[in-house]
Structure 1
Amino acid sequence: MNRLTTSAGGYDLARFPEDPRDPFRAWDASDAYLLQHLESPEGALPDGPAGDVVVVGDRWGALSTALASHRPVQISDSYLGQRATAANLERNGLPADAVRLLSPRDTPPDRVGVLLVRVPKSLAFLEDQLHRLAPAVHAGTVVIGTGMVKEIHTSTLALFERIIGPTRTSLALRKARLIHCTPDPALPRTPSPWPLRYELPPDAGAAAGRTVTNHAGIFCADRLDIGTRFFLKHLPDRTGPDRVVDLGCGNGVLGLAAALANPDATLTFVDESHQAVASAEETFRANTGPGARASFVVGDALAGAEPDSVDLVLNNPPFHSHQATTDATARTMFHGARRALRRGGELWVVANRHLGHHTTLRRVFGNCATVAGDPKFVVLRAVKR
């Protein structure tokens, strides 16, 4: 836990799930810079019927918690970010309903008085959200973005300019910067170009030639990423009524391939991203028949899975949490997989070779075998004994 101090007060904040070993804060200098600006006479939030205060991309709820008195609407693609917001509200003695939590799949507010955007890592997600919110923005809407200097590029500003209106940036403060955008009601309102769809290449195993749906913000949304491509060539050859989990499913290609190779399997697609789970469901439904069995879960890895209930887990774990490189997510996934697997059940993982996941898997499972590898990637298998 760490404390964010503003002129309006201090807030104890933590990421979710809270881990005392986690060295990363639940806020950064860009959050503090935006709050400092809003507390100044120049940046004071308007009163009256201008519309909702909307916060997009609030990573761990720092902005929403500090602005709880304005009853903001938070739009976040992250299940963990939403859980962190709820926990931080409770931690600071604020009512649970002080922030309305929405995902990108929900209908946005009809009228926005203040739009605050924590610039996301994905420009595609920013583009999609600006398109979705633009009809609710009016001439009097206050629009401010915030991010670290290294996160704000010419392309970032161009999106605000093209979709919302003229844009300028502030001076940098502690390596953070603000984006001030003036809405231009005369700009044409065009629909979001998302989702994107593409056809899987011939070397995609059982899923070759199938069409994949990718909502904005999904990793490698315009093509099959090379790690998944390598994994598809080395998936386990199984038959029978397996319960299979595509853990951290992204657009669901791994789970789709498993379902096509074994029509008797029952699939579960899990991701902490609402956009990812929506992509996986559309990908699966478009490429399987009415008898295909699958469920789709937005959640914290396999935290909610029934113990000893799964035969096979397929996993391509991320190794970034926003800008930080960390194996914390992979470790959570591996521990969750071991709890969920039946005795004799298997976890198959693809990862960059240099990450050394084989060491973690041996510690968690007591065993780890290398199924395949090339100079960049390795496919690993761990069995629950």
Structure 2
Amino acid sequence: MNRLITSWGAYDLTRFPEDPRDPLRAWSAADAYLLRHLAGEDGGPAGSEEAAKPVDLSGTVAVVGDRWGALTTALAEHGPTLITDSFLAREATRANVARAGFAPDAVRLSTTGDAPPSRIDVLLVRVPKSLALLEDQLHRLAPALHAGTVVVGTGMVTEIHTSTLDLFERIIGPTRTSLARQKARLIFSTPDPEREAGPSPWPRSYVLDDDSGAGAGLTAVNHAGVFCAERLDIGTRFLLQHLPTGRGAEGRGAHIVDLGCGNGVLGTAAAVADPEATVTFIDESYPAVASAEATFRANAAETTRARFIAGDALSAVPAGSVDLVLNNPPFHSHQATSGATAWRMFAGARAALRPGGELWVVGNRHLDYHVKLRKLFGNSQVVAGNPKFVVLRAVKRDR
């Protein structure tokens, strides 16, 4: 837990799921810079005197992309709406707002798939890693802005590029930046009521080529911000070339989980190969879950059963209910490189699998996932490998 000190108070903030051993902070210099600007303490456009005036927060305040709820928590007394693509960020915000002593309804928690507020007076944007996600959200929010809307973005200097500013300029209006403070920078856009940015170009789709194994010929649908939204990533392609089948017990279809599903091509390919299966798609990203559902609907038989869950690993899946887990785990979480996500996924898979159930994982060779699997399952088999990737299989044994 770490404390963020602001003009509105001091807040003890944590990430989600909360881990006392996690050394990573739940807020950044970019968050602190934006809050100082809102309070009139620092950070107006370069060469201006606007920083001396606090921002009027009495109207409708929307906060986009708040990674762990630092901005939303600090501004909770103003009733902001959080718009997030992340289940983990949403739950962290919920916990941080409660820890700060606010009622659950003090803030509105919404996702990138929900309808945005009809009018926004103050729009605060934590610049995301994905330029596509920023583009999509600015398109969606632009109709709610008016000539008097205050629009401020924030990010670390390494996260704000010319292409970032071009999006604000093209979709919102004239855009300037602040001076850098503690390696962070602010973005200021003035809404232009005459500007017609048009609809978002997302979602997009493409057809998997003949080298995609069990996925060949499938249509992949991708919402903005989903990993490898423009093309099939090579790790998933490699697992599709070795996709397992026939894991259900005699007399029933298999229960397959596509864990960290992304656009859902792994689970969809499994469903197409086994129409009797039940497939559960899980990701912490709301756009990913929406993509997976769209991919599944575009390819699988209407009789195939499927569930789509935005959640943390397999926490929402009953123990001992799964026959097969397919997983291409990320090795980063909100830009922080970490093996914690993969470990949580593997541990959740072991709990969710029935005895004899299998976890199939694809990953870069250097990540040594086989070591984690042997610790958890007591076994790990190399199914296939190439110079970059390895496909591993672990079986849940009775102990």
TM normalised by structure 1 equals 0.98
Q: Which residue of 2 aligns with 1:84?
A: 92
The answer on 1:315 being equivalent to 2:340 is: no
Matched to 2:377, the amino acid is F
Report runs of 4+ in structure 1 exceeding 3 Å deviation: none
- Mapped to 2, the partners of 1:36 and 1:166 lie a distance apart of 23
Q: Which residue of 2 aligns with 1:151?
A: 159
Q: Which residue of 1 aligns with 2:377?
A: 365
Q: Which residue of 1 aligns with 2:219?
A: 211
Q: How far 1:239 moved relative to its partner?
A: 5.7
- Across the two proteins, how many residue pairs are aligned to each other? 383
Matched to 1:104, the amino acid is T
RMSD over aligned CA atoms reads 1.1
The answer on 1:347 being equivalent to 2:355 is: no
Alignment check: 8 A CA contact 1:239 1:264 kept:
no
Q: Which residue of 1 aligns with 2:346?
A: 334
Gaps of 5+ in 2: 41-50
- Mapped to 1, the partners of 2:168 and 2:348 lie a distance apart of 40
Q: Which residue of 2 aligns with 1:273?
A: 285
Matched to 2:56, the amino acid is P
Alignment check: 8 A CA contact 1:249 1:280 kept:
yes
Alignment check: 8 A CA contact 1:135 1:189 kept:
no
Matches within 5 A, 1:197-208: 197-208=205-216
What do the CA deviations read for 1:280-316 (whole angstroms, capped 9, x no partner)? 0011011112111111111111012111110000000
Matches within 5 A, 1:180-259: 180-238=188-246, 240=248, 241-259=253-271
The answer on 1:44 being equivalent to 2:54 is: yes
Alignment check: 8 A CA contact 1:205 1:257 kept:
no
Q: How far 1:7 moved relative to its partner?
A: 2.9
Q: Which moved more, 1:344-353 or 1:36-45?
A: 36-45
Q: Which moved more, 1:122-131 or 1:180-189?
A: 180-189
What do the CA deviations read for 1:301-354 (whole angstroms, capped 9, x no partner)? 101211111000000000111221101110110010000000010000001111
Instruction: Give the SS at the match of 1:23.
Output: coil
Distance 1:19 1:43, change over 3 A: farther
Q: How far 1:80 moved relative to its partner?
A: 0.8
Q: Which moved more, 1:39-48 or 1:212-221?
A: 39-48
Instruction: Give the SS at the match of 1:331.
Output: helix
Distance 1:43 1:251, change over 3 A: farther
- Mapped to 1, the partners of 2:7 and 2:211 lie a distance apart of 58
Q: Which residue of 2 aligns with 1:124?
A: 132
Q: Which moved more, 1:357-366 or 1:109-118?
A: 357-366
- Mapped to 1, the partners of 2:126 and 2:70 lie a distance apart of 11
Alignment check: 8 A CA contact 2:271 2:279 kept:
yes
- Mapped to 2, the partners of 1:247 and 1:136 lie a distance apart of 35
- Mapped to 1, the partners of 2:294 and 2:384 lie a distance apart of 30
Q: Which moved more, 1:235-244 or 1:115-124?
A: 235-244
Q: How far 1:135 moved relative to its partner?
A: 0.4
- Mapped to 1, the partners of 2:53 and 2:198 lie a distance apart of 29
- Mapped to 1, the partners of 2:110 and 2:333 lie a distance apart of 21
